Amino acid sequence: MASSTPIPEGKYVKTANGLTIHYHEAGTGEPVVFIHGSGPGASGYSNFKGNFRWFAERNFHSIVPDMPGFGLASKPTDVEYTLDFFVESLHGFLNAIGVTRSVLLGNSLGGAIALGYTLAHPAEVNKLVLMAPGGVEERETYFQMEGIREMINLFMGGGIDANSLRRLLSKLVYDSSLVTDELVAERLGVYKLQHQGVLATMKVPNMTSRLGEIKCPVLGLWGTKDLFNPVGGAMKILDGCADARFVLVNRCGHWVMVEHRDLFNHTCLDFLSR
């Protein structure tokens, strides 16, 4: 790990609209784009460090970008962090690295970005993997969730330290022993690079009424103890999408890919390989 950055540095690319996107990649084969969630100190590496190399070892091209406002990517202060902004930023990033068609795999906000991207650019998405995705409830419903309330209070209060961040991260998982000192340190380091406008201006619409437009195969995974996104969203995706299946995992919070890594990895491999 480079001493000057809170997470390991990968590669950087500049998009056509001037954003600098930091990303990790590994492997060759069909591209799989791992899209991270939101929150203080979020990054692609933190969300998927236990997954993307495993996929690369099984003949997939794993691509793990930091979305604008997060990780080591650009953090513009003169934009609103809307879903459209994230979708077109991801589109610009994939164009910049020459990826024209891929599997999108997203958690939480990343799941909403994956849904929005598929609706905006359907010809560019082979399959979708969604872990507790946003974008299938009204804003008020999310704000009633225990984890979301604490995240917003901490992020907007500007007083996050290691202890308060550990408490928040512990709400993301069913088993709090997974919140290690290393995880807290890397998230705290990234948080110190962020600004409040990321969450203050974030807007993600409810896309439930448009799910019928998604024709590619969809795999979803959701922890039944999720304190951030209500698990009932799984039924909305099953009802709305033409080709969808879901795995509900008990004793699991918001991070299926972290808490049940082997189940997640092998379930995704089976879906992507067929």
- Report pLDDT digits (tens) over 161-181: 999 999 999 999 999 999 999
Mean residue pLDDT of the chain comes to 96
User: Where along the chain do its domains lie?
Assistant: 11-273
Q: Which fold has domain 11-273?
A: Rossmann fold (3.40.50)
pLDDT at 213: 98
Assign 242 to helix, strand or coil: coil
Assign 79 to helix, strand or coil: coil
**pLDDT tens, 215-252?**
999 999 999 999 999 999 999 999 999 999 999 999 99
Q: Is the dihedral of CA 258, 261, 267, 273 positive or negative?
A: positive
**pLDDT tens, 61-86?**
999 999 999 999 999 999 999 999 99
Q: What whole-number distance in Å separates Cα of residue 135 and Cα of residue 203?
A: 10
pLDDT band at 158; cut points 50, 70, 90: low
**Which CA distances in Å does 228 have to 5, 145, 171?**
28, 5, 8
pLDDT at 2: 44
Is the pLDDT confidence value at 1 over 50? no
The pTM for the full model equals 0.97
Task: State which H helix or E strand residue 150 sits in.
Answer: helix 146-157
Q: Which residues are catalytic?
A: 254
pLDDT at 3: 54
Average pLDDT (52-58) is: 98
Task: State which H helix or E strand residue 20 sits in.
Answer: strand 20-26
